[in-house]
Amino acid sequence: MSSLPSIATVIGSGTMGPGIAATLARAGATVRLYDISEDAIARAEAAYGVVQGVLAAVDSPSAPGGSVSFGTDLDAALEGTELIIEAVPEKLELKQKVFADLEARIGDEVIIATNTSGIPITTMAESLRVPGRLIGMHWSNPPHLIPMIEIIPGQATDEALVGQLVDIVKAFNYVPVLEKEIPGFVENRVLYAILRECMALLEEGIVTPEGLDACVKWGIGYKLSVIGPTRLLDMAGLDIYQAVSSYLNKDLDVSTDTPQFIKDKIAEGKLGFKSNGGMYEYGEGDVDAKRKEIVTGLIAARKTLSSIPNV
C-alpha cells in the first residue's frame, strides 16, 4: 500500500466526505476531515463508527496506523498533507474559493483532487496558482461501498499526476477508470440518461414509481451489475440493437431541463431521505430503516460481485 499518501485531507464533511476519509484511513492513511460547519463535523464523527463497520464487512483493505481526525481548523487540517480531496457543494464559485483558501496555505507539490460530479476540471483549474495539481477524482455514493473511482485529468493537469492517482486508487483496492474530460464524466452521463427517461415515464403516467424501480432493478440493474453495457450488446446481438434503436432512439425523451414535477416537489420541501419525503413518503423511522436496507444490500451485492469472474 506504498502509493497511498501518509497524510490526506478531505474538505467537506457532508454526504461524501466521511466515507472517503474512512476508506483512506482504513487503508493506512492519516486523514483530516475538515468542514466549515461544526454540525457537519459532529454528524460525521457520529457516523464514523458505522462506516468503519461497513468497511470491515466488505473486507476493505486495511493497514495499521490509519486514522481520521475531525475539525473546523483549516490550518491544522492541512499540516503536512500530501493529497487534498475536495468534497464541498457542487458550485463552481464555491469550489474555486476553496481552492484559493487551500493554495494560500499549501506548497506547490500538494495534489488537489476534486470530487465534483461533473464540472469540467479545466474550468475549475483556471483560477488555480498551480493548475497542474488539480485532477478529477469522482467517487460514487456511498463512497465507502462503491469500489470504482473516475479519474479525469483537465487540460492543465500534470501528466505524472494521472498515474500517481491511479496508483493511489489501486492502493485501496478500488477500480480506477481513466477518462477524457466531458461534462458529467462517464458515470453521471449514463446515470442521467437513465434518470431522464425514468422521470419522463413517471411524468407521463406510463408506470408507477414501484413498477419503475422493480423494472430497472431486476431488468437492467441486476444484469448490468454482472456484464456491463458493452458485453450486454454482444449477448443481445448487435443486429437486435440496430433493429430496436432504429425506431426507439427517436422516441426517447430529450428534455434539456429538470422535469416540472421534480421542481414542484423541491418547492414543497420534498428532497428525499433528508426531508422524510421525495419520490416516496417516509414515516417515523422509515428513512433509517431504508438506509440500513440499502447498506445491507450493497454489502451483500459487493461480496457476491467480487467473488464472480469479471465478464
Ligand X SMILES: NC(=O)C1=CN([C@@H]2O[C@H](COP(=O)(O)OP(=O)(O)OC[C@H]3O[C@@H](n4cnc5c(N)ncnc54)[C@H](O)[C@@H]3O)[C@@H](O)[C@H]2O)C=CC1
Longest dimension (CA), the chain: 60
Q: Which of 9, 23, 117, 157 binds ligand X (CB under 6 A)?
A: 117
* 12 annotated ligand-binding residue: yes
What SS3 class is residue 162?
helix
Rg (CA), the chain: 21
The answer to whether the annotation marks 237 as part of a ligand binding site is: no
Residue 20's binding partner out of ligand LTVM2SF3, ligand X, none, with CB under 5 to 8 Å set by partner kind: none
* Shortest distance in whole angstroms from residue 60 CB to ligand LTVM2SF3: 18
Rounded to a whole number, what is the distance in angstroms from the first to the last CA of the chain? 27
The DSSP bridge pattern shows strands 83-86 and 67-71 to be unpaired
Query: Is 13 labelled as part of a ligand binding site?
Result: yes
Q: Is 11 in the site for ligand X (CB under 6 A)?
A: yes
Residue 112 binds: one of ligand X, ligand LTVM2SF3, none (C-beta under 5 to 8 A by kind): none
Cα 159 to Cα 27, 115, 133: the distances in Å are: 25, 19, 10
Selection from ligand X, ligand LTVM2SF3, none that 115 binds (CB < 5 to 8 A by kind) is ligand X
What is the rounded distance in angstroms from the CA atom of residue 195 to the CA atom of residue 193?
A: 6
Candidate list 36, 206, 235, 240; residue touching ligand X; CB under 6 A: 36
Pull the grid cell for residue 232: 450486454
DSSP designation for 220: I
Three-state DSSP at 268 gives: coil
Is 80 annotated among the ligand-binding residues? no
Closer by beta carbon to ligand LTVM2SF3, 9 or else 140: 140
A 10 A CB-CB count for 74 gives 18
Give binding residues as ranges.
12-17, 35, 90, 95, 117, 141, 274
Applying CB under 6 A, which residues contact ligand X?
11-17, 34-37, 40, 87-90, 94, 98, 115-117, 139-141
Specify binding-site residues for NAD(+). 12-17, 35, 90, 95, 117, 141, 274
